[in-house]
Amino acid sequence: MKEYVKPDQVPENSSMARNLAEMKNLGKQMENMRSNEELISYGKSPDPVQHEEELKNKEGL
C-alpha cells in the first residue's frame, strides 16, 4: 500500500527538471555532451561503468 504524500512534502530533487526552462537547459547540455571517444582524445577518462558496458557490447560478451 502506497502512503499518501502531501505536495509540500515531496522533495525538490524528485524530478530531472522542474519547469520548461530547466528542460531546455538540460537538452542543450545533453546535445553538447562528449562521447567516450572524444573524452579519450582530450586525455580524460569516460565514466568507467558505462565505458566497460560499451566494451562488453562491442566484444559481444
Number of structural domains, the chain? Answer: 1
Model pLDDT for residues 33-60, shown as the tens digit of each residue = 988 889 889 998 877 776 666 767 776 6
Judge whether 13 lies within some domain.
Answer: no
Judge whether 12 lies within some domain.
Answer: no
pLDDT value at residue 36: 84
Model pLDDT for residues 17-27, shown as the tens digit of each residue = 778 898 899 99
DSSP string, the chain: -PPP--GGGS-GGGSS-SSHHHHHHHHHHHHTPPPHHHHHHTT----HHHHHHHHHHHHT-
Judge whether 2 lies within some domain.
Answer: no
Please state the pTM of the whole predicted model: 0.44
Judge whether 3 lies within some domain.
Answer: no
Task: Please give the residue range of the domain that contains residue 24.
Answer: 18-59
Judge whether 39 lies within some domain.
Answer: yes
Asked if residue 31 has pLDDT above 70, the reply is: yes
pLDDT value at residue 9: 65
